[in-house]
Amino acid sequence: MSLPRKQLGRTDLEVTSVCLGTMTFGEQNTEAEAHAQLDYALERGINFIDTAELYPVPPSAATQGSTERFIGSWLKARGGRDKLVLATKIAGPNASQAWIRGARHNVDAANLRAAVDTSLRRLQTDYIDLYQLHWPSRNVPVFGANQFDPRKERDGVAIEDTLRTLSELVREGKIRHIGVSNESPWGVCEFVKQAERHGLPRIATVQNLYNLTARAFETTLLDEVCYREDVSLLAYSPLAFGQLSAKYVDDPQARGRLTIYPATWSPRYLRPAVFEACREYAALAREHGLTPAQMALAWCYSRWFMGSTIIGATTLAQLKENIDAAQVTLSDEVVRRIDEIHARITNPGQ
């Protein structure tokens, strides 16, 4: 079965409903394994690849940039760049990641230009189809924090200033279109407003967390914002760091990100309520002859607001199951039961 394609925002980019995420390349996956995943994704019809200058994760000075380098060596060896939609991201401010252009890196003009040029070199390409801001410059709750705290206000780069530099990079042909990530409804609206007010590039996408344990995209009205402003959702972590595959439900010590890395890396997915929800979702899937991963991904693939769902895997078998889930149609009964579980255990992984 061929994968359906969707247009991103108001751009000319048409991407498959499944996007290959690559943040394991260089940490959990070797270069050869990364190339094998890219080859297989291409064979299955995927035309959309997402990465970031920060990757792989967990982030470290020793591995930073390896993911883009692995994709670059694959592109050089395989060719076919014009048939792919390639997305990457600039890291937002984080003083603890001083190896990325110093502790004061941000999304100002100097950093944007340096980041784009470095990504182009690592990716061995002349242009980036979709360039995204990995997280906001301003104070906003991200990565498991879900309450806005005015006491954490900080100086940030003005959205208009960021857009002006991105506009220059578009004119220079280094990037084609832009997007944001880990953004709020206010942030999406402000990016659109500033672009329209000043004649600057319009964001096409927002790459945010979305899965059965984290459906805030629907409950914060970000879905309405994106619908009315023609901004496409790129959903990341659709399996909640593997929790929704039920491997940790079946075996709490199963090998994966939640057991091989410190608990501080992904505490939101270790909350008791996440385990409780995943047990219920797994039981529902198995009751209807599906694997838990199939049901969780089929849910994402079928949402009306989905531009593309970013899947990640460490083995080809996992990657195959993840792509095959695009062929699964959830019954009305399964959808109803999913919503019942969500109503009782609401967004524990947000």
pLDDT of residue 332: 98
Residue (of 142, 145, 225, 242) closest to 185 by Cα position: 225
Closest CA to 232 of 20, 9, 11: 9
- Are 71 and 77 in contact by the 8 Å Cβ rule? The answer is no
Does residue 331 surpass a pLDDT of 80?
yes
Other Cβ atoms within 10 Å of 322 Cβ, number: 25
SS3 76: helix
Exposure string of 137-154, with b = 16+ CB inside 10 Å and e = fewer, is bbebebeeeeeeeeeeee
Instruction: Report the alpha-carbon distance of residue 139 to residue 257 in Å, rounded.
Output: 28
Mean pLDDT value across residues 155-161: 96
Q: How far apart are CA 286 and CA 7, in angstroms?
A: 34
User: Do 188 and 231 form a contact (C-beta atoms < 8 A)?
Assistant: yes
Provide mean pLDDT across the span 286-308.
Answer: 98
CA gap 119, 36 in Å, rounded: 22
Distance CA 123, CA 94 (A): 24
Instruction: Let me know if 236 is a catalytic residue.
Output: no
Query: Using 50, 70 and 90 to split pLDDT, how confident is the model at 63?
Result: very high
Q: What is the pLDDT of residue 208?
A: 98
Q: What is the pLDDT at residue 75?
A: 98
Q: Which two tokens stand for residue 143?
A: 């990565």
Please state the rounded mean pLDDT for residues 301-329. 97
To the nearest whole number, what is the mean pLDDT of the chain? 97
- Given a cut of 90, whether residue 1 has pLDDT beyond it is no
pLDDT for residue 165 is more than 90: yes
**Amino acid residing at 88:** T
Nearby residues of 264 by Cβ (< 8 Å), 6 or more positions away: none
- Return the pLDDT at 211: 98
pLDDT over 90 (residue 146): no
Query: Mean of the pLDDT values across residues 120-133?
Result: 98
pLDDT of residue 209 exceeding 80, the answer is: yes
Under the banding of pLDDT at 50, 70 and 90, the label for residue 10 is: very high
Q: What is the rounded CA–CA span in Å between residue 252 and residue 249?
A: 6
Which residues are bridge partners to 309 per DSSP?
Answer: 18, 235
pLDDT of the residue at 187:
98
End-to-end CA distance of the chain: 32
Amino acid 45 reads G
Reported confidence tier of residue 62, pLDDT bands at 50, 70, 90:
very high
pLDDT of residue 265: 87
pLDDT of residue 247: 96
pLDDT at 132: 99
Catalytic pick from 55, 131, 248, 281?
A: 55
**What are 237-268's pLDDT values in tens digits?**
999 999 999 999 999 999 999 999 999 888 99
Summarize the confidence of residues 29-38 as an average pLDDT: 98
pTM: 0.97
Q: Within the chain, where are the H helices?
A: 31-43, 66-78, 109-123, 159-171, 185-198, 216-219, 222-229, 247-250, 257-260, 272-287, 292-302, 316-324, 332-344
| pLDDT of amino acid 329 | 97
Per-residue pLDDT, averaged over 298-304, amounts to 98
